[in-house]
Chain A
Amino acid sequence: MHELAIAENIVDTVCTRAAGRPVRRVTVRIGALTAVLPDAMRLCWDLAATGTAAHGAALDLDLRPAVVFCRACRTDQRLPDMIPLCPCGSADVTVTTGRELHIVSMEVA
């Protein structure tokens, strides 16, 4: 359950940046290749935020698919799984999205 540690990291960061003001909403971007489960994040969020300046804050998740650029056929391809392989058969690919794990923004009162 690493999502609890991730949620605690997010709460720490937003509370520090909010400098004592209550946090109402936090937007987090999660890529499909990061091993962070959206449902588990939502479950851990309230737990991590309880008793902090982010207590009761809404959590918005901006989920990004895994996309690779294939150098063989020069196209962007969305991956159905973790295997970095283009449907054309080439493994000469670069991940363009899917590794994001960012706090995008927060709303403070």
Chain B
Amino acid sequence: MCFDDRPVVTVTLEERVLARNDDLARANRELLTARGIRAINLMSSPGSGKTTLLERTVRELRRPVAVIEGDQRTPLDADRIRAAGAPVVQVNTGAGCHLDAAMTRRALDDLDPPPGSLLFVENVGNLICPSLFDLGEHARVVIVSVTEGADKPLKYPYMFAVADLVVINKTDLLPYVDFDVDACRRHIAAVNPGATTLTVSATRGEHLPDWYAWLTDGAG
């Protein structure tokens, strides 16, 4: 206990807790911007249709797409994206519930997305934790599906508060579920007045041109 006779001193730090992550995220963003790559952080609860929307986007968007897939386990989503025709790297977080800037950087080094491409980072399905971690993206998209309930933006406000765009997915199921689209839009506007909202069906292709237009104009 050689330290015991030392006086206890208070050191003022005033340092951001996530300073390291934020610095790495800024470096990622600079690297991507320099290569003409736009990066989109795609977040939602599990099962909202992130991967289905991406499969379709890979096939239909007239711009090269590359994908970083985040999941706790399995390469299943990466297999789907690869089958759709885009270069992809799977990140398995193990016990982790979100991606961070360091994981994103390692995945970027492996993926090496082509200059001028659109890079999607499909975050771990989780409506809470990923909202805190900047990955170096240029835009944040949150997906909510009509099977989840229109009150999700009020129940998980942190996530919806950071979104540039909220996509309401699975509109083909509207006849079968009790989901009030207007109420959902109001709840999104309440927690995030600046967010854009789109309604789509990724499986049926309804309103996907709106999504592609946003990717080209809003995020591109």
A→B interface (CB under 8 Å): 1-2, 5-6, 9-10, 12-14, 17-18, 21-22, 24, 28, 33-36, 81-85, 91, 101-109
Contact = CB atoms under 8 A, between A and B. Distances in A.
Interface of B: 3-4, 6-21, 96-98, 100, 128-129, 131-133, 154, 157-158, 161, 190-191, 193
Contacts of A28: 17
A99 to B, nearest CB: 10
Ranked 7 nearest A-B pairs via Cβ: A82-B157, A2-B129, A35-B158, A101-B17, A109-B3, A103-B13, A105-B12
Contacts of B128: 2, 35
A82 B158 contact: yes
Nearest to B16: A102
B18 A83 contact: no
B206 to A, nearest CB: 30
Given A82-B157, A82-B158, A83-B157, A103 B132 contact: no
B42 to A, nearest CB: 18
Contacts of B13: 13-14, 17, 102-106
Nearest to A36: B132
Contacts of B15: 13, 102-103
A106 B11 contact: yes
A107 B131 contact: no
B9 A107 contact: yes
B17 A10 contact: yes
A85 B15 CA distance: 29
Given A1-B97, A35-B132, A82-B161, A9 B10 contact: no
A34 B87 CA distance: 34
8 contacts: A9-B20, A17-B11, A21-B3, A83-B154, A101-B17, A104-B12, A105-B11, A105-B14
Given A35-B132, A82-B191, A24 B98 contact: no
B3 A22 contact: yes
Given A13-B19, A91-B193, A103-B13, 13 more contacts: A9-B20, A17-B13, A81-B157, A82-B157, A82-B161, A101-B16, A103-B15, A103-B16, A106-B11, A107-B10, A107-B11, A108-B9, A109-B3
A35 B8 contact: no
Nearest to B100: A5
Nearest to A83: B190
B132 A34 contact: yes
B18 A109 contact: no
Contact of B96 (A5, A21, A101, A105): A5
Contacts of B18: 6, 9, 101
Contacts of B96: 5
Contacts of B20: 9, 12-13
A64 B129 CA distance: 20
Contacts of A109: 3-4, 6-8
Contacts of A24: 8
A36 B128 CA distance: 10
A32 B12 CA distance: 22
